[in-house]
Amino acid sequence: MNAPPHAPHGVENLCAAGTNLYEAALRDGRVKTGEAETAAPCLLSFGLLHPVVDDPDQLEPVSPALALHRLLRASGTRIADERRREERLATLFEPLMRITGSRTAAADPASLRLLSGTEQINGAITEATAEATDELLCIQPNVHYSGPRGQTAQTVAMARDQALLDRGCRIRTLYQHTQRHQPLVLARYEQLRGDVAARTLDEVTDRLIVIDGKVAFIPAGEDGRLALEVRHPALLTYFTITFDRLWRLATPMYPQAVHRPSLNGVTPRQQAIAALLVEGHTDAVIADRLGMNIRTARVHIAKLATTLGSESRAQLGYLIGQSGILDREQNRDRAQEQRPGPDRPPAPED
């Protein structure tokens, strides 16, 4: 049976087989050439083993101190080459940038950048967050916290966000109401320390991150593996204004939670479902828009029908309209939007 092919890797990520064989060579003074070529050919390509002068069937190890010095010197040479390349590029492009300097940001490809893959997306967000000096705004839909991928992203975000808070910045996040009791969401606010606040709405937009009003990240595909980095001033202004308007309409969740009242036995979640029912949406669409599974949505629809005394879907829509629950909900939202608060100055008197 043939041995599996040796996966390529850098010397800084020396494989387990290579590490073990190199340690054995350092202890014993030499190893067999055939063994190294089969188990860890990387040791030969990295120059950590070399042939014994009087015995080509044996290899002896290069001193770790000597190997490290040689590798660091090569790394330093590469860095110096890159710096010289950067200087040449800057010299080349500086006069060219002066030619286009008067053009608007709309003509600048750097105002929009497509990011591909979770690693690149997280790296770009981390880099932008590390430069933040004021505030991070975030809209977090339900789908982001589902499954192992969401848990991994949450772990990465926690360290990144705490570092931002430690620098005196603020974080504001919008979730759907269905996220108010999610364990991962609750754990986030039990651990973060600093100026952090969260509110919820029945529905939110797709994921959005805005950092200092200078850079934003939005999805560029349905599977979450493509994102768009936005630095266009007009788009950033639009995102920030949209977030602030949604924030004023949202219900506080942290640091002080506000619980929305029921109306004549109809819960706030059922009120949101009622509004979508009278618009003619299917159970699947309602579940998707409110961040719940279709089974939960149907349970709430059944309870709403029981509360209002409905015996059919058509009658339920009629009874919702007759009950006035949507009118009261709309009035409450308008009152909340106009209510003075820390993020909104009092309206001027007539």
Can you give the CATH number for the domain in which 234 is found? Answer: 3.30.870.10
Q: Is the pLDDT of residue 253 over 70?
A: yes
Q: Which residue has the tokens 């001033």?
A: 233
Domain-embedded: residue 350: no
Domain-embedded: residue 86: no
**pLDDT tier, 336 (very low <50, low <70, confident <90, very high otherwise):** very low
User: What per-residue confidence (pLDDT) applies to 208?
Assistant: 95
State which of 194, 226, 254 marks the end of a domain. 254
**What's the CATH code of the domain at 272?**
1.10.10.10
The whole domain housing 26 covers 16-62
Please give the distance of CA 239 from its chain centroid, rounded to a whole number: 17
The total domain count for the chain is: 3
Please state the rounded mean pLDDT for residues 215-219.
Answer: 95
Which of 14, 26, 27, 28 is closest to 61 using CA atoms? Answer: 26
Is residue 287 within 8 Å of residue 297, measured between CB atoms? yes
Do 160 and 218 lie in one domain? The reply is yes
The residue ranges of DSSP E strands in the chain, in sequence order, are 31-32, 49-52, 55-61, 112-116, 135-139, 170-176, 195-201, 208-211, 215-219, 226-230, 251-254
State which of 202, 228, 254 marks the end of a domain. 254
User: In which element (H, E) is residue 23 found?
Assistant: helix 16-28
Q: Is the pLDDT of residue 211 over 60?
A: yes
Q: Is the pLDDT of residue 217 over 90?
A: yes
Residues of the chain with pLDDT > 90, as a percent, come to 25
User: What per-residue confidence (pLDDT) applies to 202?
Assistant: 84
Please state the rounded mean pLDDT for residues 232-255.
Answer: 92
Please state the rounded mean pLDDT for residues 188-201.
Answer: 91
User: What per-residue confidence (pLDDT) applies to 246?
Assistant: 92
**pLDDT tier, 236 (very low <50, low <70, confident <90, very high otherwise):** very high
User: What per-residue confidence (pLDDT) applies to 194?
Assistant: 93
Which phi and psi angles does 137 have, rounded to 5°? -110, 140
* Burial profile 69-97: b = 16 or more Cβ within 10 angstroms, e = fewer: eeeeeeeeeeeeeeeeeeeeeeeeeeeee
Query: pLDDT by residue (tens digit) across 132-156?
Result: 999 999 999 875 555 555 566 677 7
Do 276 and 218 lie in one domain? The reply is no
* 12 vs 142, more confident: 12
Do 246 and 277 lie in one domain? The reply is no
Query: What's the chain's average pLDDT?
Result: 80
**pLDDT tier, 100 (very low <50, low <70, confident <90, very high otherwise):** low
Residues in Cβ contact with 270 at an 8 Å cutoff, skipping those fewer than 6 apart:
300, 303, 304, 307
**What is the edge-to-edge ordering of all strands in the sheet holding 55-61?**
31-32, 55-61, 49-52
Q: Is the pLDDT of residue 69 over 60?
A: yes
User: What per-residue confidence (pLDDT) applies to 4?
Assistant: 66
User: What per-residue confidence (pLDDT) applies to 146?
Assistant: 53
Q: Is the pLDDT of residue 186 over 50?
A: yes
Is residue 304 within 8 Å of residue 270, measured between CB atoms? yes
User: What per-residue confidence (pLDDT) applies to 210?
Assistant: 97
Domain-embedded: residue 263: no
Q: Is the pLDDT of residue 218 over 90?
A: yes
Q: Is the pLDDT of residue 40 over 60?
A: yes
Please state the rounded mean pLDDT for residues 204-209.
Answer: 90
Query: pLDDT by residue (tens digit) across 255-301?
Result: 887 776 666 677 777 777 877 877 778 888 887 777 777 888 888 78
Do 128 and 173 lie in one domain? The reply is yes
Q: Is the pLDDT of residue 330 over 60?
A: no
Do 42 and 156 lie in one domain? The reply is no
